[in-house]
Amino acid sequence: MMKRALISVSDKTGVVEFAKGLINNGFEIVSTGGTYKKLQENDVKVIEIDEITKFPEILDGRVKTLHPMVHAGLLAKRDNAEHMKTLEKLNIQMIDLVCVNLYPFKETISKENVTPEQAIEQIDIGGPSMIRSASKNFKSVYVVIDNNDYQTVLNSIENNSDDLALRQKLAAKAFRHTAEYDSIIAHYLSDLNGEEFPDVEVLGYDFHQELRYGENSHQKAAFYQSAMPSDYSIASAKQLHGKELSFNNIKDADAALRIVADFDKPCVAALKHMNPCGIGVDDESIYQAWRKAYTADTMSIFGGIVAVNREVTKEIAEEMHKIFLEIVIAPSFTAEALEILEAKKNIRLMTLDFSKAQEADKHEYVSVMGGLLVQERDTTVDKIDEFKVVTKKAPTKEEMKALLFGQQVVKHVKSNAIVITTTDKTLGVGAGQMNRIGSVKIAIEQEELADEHAPLIMASDAFFPMDDCVQYAAEHGITAIIQPGGSIKDQDSIDMADKFGIAMVFTGRRHFKH
C-alpha cells in the first residue's frame, strides 16, 4: 500500500518542495485548509482531509483532524496483528508521516492591542493532537514540526533506511515543541487571571547558542532564550563585532543592563564579575558619564563590560580603544566610533533598544539543586521624599542628591554591599563580604585613591548590626550615610553619627542582592 503523509502547516516555507520530495518517494499527501490550497496551487497532487474522514471541517475549522480515521492511522502499532485487523476492518489507512506546525499563538500575543478572544482563537488543538499521536508512535511514524528538518527526513526516506534513531529524535523535538507551546498559553492565561505564582511553573526556552564552556573551562554550557523574550535583554541584543559571548560575559552583560535600566539620564556602568566597578551619570553628556565611570576605578575596568545608555561617540570610542574591554553594549555607535572599536579584534560590540528597559522581565528565576526560586525583580527606585532623617544633622541638598545616587547603585552590588559615591559617580565599592565592616573598609580603601571628596556619602544595602561601620566611615571623611534601618542596635549607629556630626537617613527598604 502507498505510504501516506499528512501535512498541515501554518509556516509554509519549503512545504511545496517537501511534499514533492515525498511524492517522489512513494507517498500520497493528505492536507487541510490553507496548506491544501498552497499545495494544489503548486501542482502537488493532494487529498483533502475530509475525503479521508468523510466528515467536513466544522466550527470555523476548530474541528477537522480530530477524527479516528486520522488518529487510528497514526497510533496503530504496525507489529500488532490485532491493530492491523482493526484498521482493515474499519478501512483505515495508516499515516506514516505527519508534518505539522502550530497556529501562531506566540506571534499573535506579541502584537499590540490583541484581545483575549483573538489570542484564544490561535490556540491550536488538532495540531498538537496529531503531533502527540505521531510522536507516541515514532517507532513507525515520522513527525516533522520544523522545516529545517525537511531535507534530513527526505534523505532518510530516499535511502530506504529504517532510521529509528532519527524518528525518536524527531519525536523528542516534537514533544518539546508542544510543551513550550502549552507553556506560553499557560503563562498568558495565568497573567490574565493575575496568578503571579501558580501551583505549577512551566517555562519554555529556545536554544540560542552553544557556549565554549561554562564558568570554567571544564564545564559544558549553552545559552537559552525565553520563549517570550524581552526586547530588553542580552538575548535580544545584536552583536556587531567580536567573538561569541562566553557564559561569564552573558551574566556580566545582564547585570550591566539591569543597572543602566534604573537611570533615565546619561549613564555608563562598568562591571567586573557582576559587580559595578564604576558607574557615572551626567545631566546632559554621555561622554562625561563615561569619564566618571572610567575614572571611578581605572584598574578594575580592565577586562570589564561596559553598558552605555546613549549612542557611543567617536570621543568615547577613542578612550575605550586605549584599554581592554570585553563588551560594550549601547543603543548605537556612530560610524566613526564603530570603526575605531572594530580595530580591536576581541572586543564584543552590541546594540540593544534601551528604550524598552521598562519592558524587561518582571520576574527572575534562580536554579537550586532540586528546585527553582522565583521572585519579582528589584525594580524599585527609592525617592528622596521617602527618606527619614534620623540624626541631629540633616543632609545638605547636595548630600541628599548623592545619597539618592548611592541608593540606586548599592542595590546592584552583591551583599554585603557598601558604596561610596559623590552625586554622580561611584568612588568605592565593597561587595560580597561575610561581614559588613569588611565591605566598608574595602569601599573606603578604594575611595582613598580618588581625588573627589565633596560631597562624600556611604550607602548600605542593609542595616548596620553595630555602630562600627558608622564610626569607620566618619573617621575616613564620609559626611552622610544612607541605610534601611531596622536593626535592634539602630540607636547605637545614630548616636555614633551624632558623635561625629554626620548625617544619616533611613529608607525602610533593604536591597539585598545575593
What CATH number did the domain enclosing 343 receive?
3.40.140.20
Q: Do both 95 and 186 map to the same domain?
A: yes
- The distance between the two most distant Cα atoms of the chain, rounded to a whole number of Å, is 97
Is it the case that residue 60 has pLDDT exceeding 80?
no
Whole-number pLDDT of residue 144 = 96
Q: Do both 260 and 303 map to the same domain?
A: yes
Whole-number pLDDT of residue 34 = 87
Helix, strand, or coil (residue 130): helix
Q: Which three cell numbers stand for residue 29?
A: 499527501
Q: Is residue 273 annotated as part of the catalytic site, yes or no? A: yes
What CATH number did the domain enclosing 55 receive?
3.40.50.1380
- With a CB cutoff of 8 Å and minimum separation 6, the contacts of 300 are 270, 272, 277, 278
β-strands 304-308, 325-330 pairing: parallel
185: domain range? 3-193
The verdict on residue 250 lying in a domain is yes
β-strands 238-241, 27-31 pairing: unpaired
423-448 burial code (b ≥16 CB/10 A, e <16): bbbbbbbbbbbeebbebbbbbbebbe
> How many domains does the structure of the chain reveal?
3
Is it the case that residue 265 has pLDDT exceeding 90?
yes
CA–CA distance, 287 with 92 (Å, rounded to integer): 73
N-terminal to C-terminal alpha carbon distance within the chain = 64
- Cβ atoms 473, 481 nearer than 8 A: yes
**What is the band of 153 on the pLDDT scale with cuts at 50, 70, 90?**
very high
Q: Do both 52 and 170 map to the same domain?
A: yes
C-alpha to C-alpha distances, 172 to 131, 145, 201, 447, nearest whole angstrom: 11, 11, 21, 56
In terms of C-beta density within 10 A (0-12 exposed, 13-18 middle, 19 or more buried), how is residue 468 classed? middle
The verdict on residue 390 lying in a domain is yes
**What is the band of 296 on the pLDDT scale with cuts at 50, 70, 90?**
very high
**What is the band of 235 on the pLDDT scale with cuts at 50, 70, 90?**
very high
Q: Do both 47 and 183 map to the same domain?
A: yes
Q: Do both 170 and 50 map to the same domain?
A: yes
Q: Do both 420 and 288 map to the same domain?
A: no
Which of 193, 216, 251 is at the close of a domain? 193
Is it the case that residue 450 has pLDDT exceeding 70?
no
Q: Do both 91 and 164 map to the same domain?
A: yes
Selected residue with higher pLDDT from 61 and 117: 117
Which of 139, 161, 193 is at the close of a domain? 193
- The count of other CB atoms within 10 Å of the CB of residue 500 is 15
In terms of C-beta density within 10 A (0-12 exposed, 13-18 middle, 19 or more buried), how is residue 375 classed? exposed
The verdict on residue 200 lying in a domain is no
Catalytic residue among 67, 83, 241, 273: 273
Q: Do both 166 and 28 map to the same domain?
A: yes
Whole-number pLDDT of residue 1 = 62
Q: Do both 20 and 166 map to the same domain?
A: yes
Q: Is residue 499 annotated as part of the catalytic site, yes or no? A: no
Q: Do both 292 and 331 map to the same domain?
A: yes
- Cβ atoms 106, 11 nearer than 8 A: no
Predicted confidence (pLDDT) per residue in 309-337, tens digit: 999 999 999 999 999 999 999 999 999 99
Q: Do both 258 and 152 map to the same domain?
A: no
Q: Ranked by mean pLDDT, which of 189-193, 269-273, 374-378 comes out on top?
A: 269-273
Catalytic residue among 20, 37, 67, 136: 136
Q: Do both 351 and 409 map to the same domain?
A: no
What is this structure's pTM?
0.86
In terms of C-beta density within 10 A (0-12 exposed, 13-18 middle, 19 or more buried), how is residue 59 classed? exposed
